[in-house]
Amino acid sequence: MELFSIPSRIQIIIERLEELYTLRIFEDSDPFRVLIRTILSQRTRDENTDAASALLFKKFSTPEAIAYAPVDELEILIKKSGFYRVKARRIKEVSRIIHEEYDNVVPDDLKELLSLPGVGRKTANCVLVYGFHEDAIPVDVHVHRISNRIGLVNTKTPDETEAELRKVIPKKYWLPLNDLFVQFGQSICRPIGPKHEICPITELCDHYNKMENP
């Protein structure tokens, strides 16, 4: 199927995934929480991020509070997220900058977000999508893997994947893409042992079609 046939390939993929999953984009859209949570999510599992974030925000919920919190206390609260010593210092510094330089308001500009310590394109785009509901494409391991597996792109790195997806995917689908692909990647299109038998988009997937027609 052509990528931009009518209805387009990506349109069908998005529509079918929306039938399977509830969009979580609007569940907790506080930009500061999204920023800190995404920093904590680096190199760990979602359940660890959830646990660490819950403990952290129960005790310290504002940029000012985290900025002035003792770093050893932050380490204890976020320990489940892994690499907690590095992350504690990172969220403390980011919070200080947000508090002192941005008057406790997280910027909604990609360039300014990327200027924050430890914030790369995935984190910055997550803040734009989940915190401000702006059109962006956060590319994590799921989006990178699935986009290549399906055949939407042929790239080596997440940054390359983002650049190519921005070229081929209509902008109206950018906002839900990360949310849907993450849920799809966790439940069906897994790294090892993808569940082809229940996948709703097998006929649109290059990987599956190559297996069926080697």
The architecture CATH gives domain 31-120: Orthogonal Bundle (1.10)
DSSP-assigned letters across all residues of 64-89: HHHHTS-HHHHHHHTGGGSSHHHHHH
Residue 152 is classified by DSSP as S
Q: Are 3 and 173 in contact (CB under 8 A)?
A: no
In the chain, what's the furthest Cα-to-Cα distance?
Answer: 60
Print pLDDT tens along the chain (214 aa). 444 453 478 999 999 999 999 998 877 789 999 999 999 999 999 899 999 999 999 999 999 999 999 999 999 999 999 999 999 999 999 999 999 999 999 999 999 999 999 999 999 999 999 999 999 999 999 999 999 999 999 999 999 999 999 998 999 999 999 999 999 999 999 999 999 999 999 999 999 988 877 6
Q: Do 9-23+138-212 and 31-120 agree at the fold level?
A: no
- 159 burial level (CB within 10 Å; 0-12, 13-18, 19+): middle
Residue-level pLDDT at 2: 47
The letter for the amino acid at 19 is E
Any idea which residue has 């900025």 for tokens? 67
Alpha-carbon gap, residue 116 to 191, rounded angstroms = 31
Reported as type and span, the H/E element at residue 163 is helix 158-168
Residue-level pLDDT at 3: 45
Q: What is the CA radius of gyration of the chain?
A: 18
Query: Can you give the residue ranges of every domain in the chain?
Result: 9-23+138-212, 31-120
Residue-level pLDDT at 4: 46
What ranges make up the beta strands (E) of the chain?
A: none
φ and ψ of 179, to 5 deg? -60, -50
The fold adopted by the segment(s) 9-23+138-212 is Endonuclease Iii, domain 2 (1.10.1670)
Alpha-carbon gap, residue 10 to 23, rounded angstroms = 17
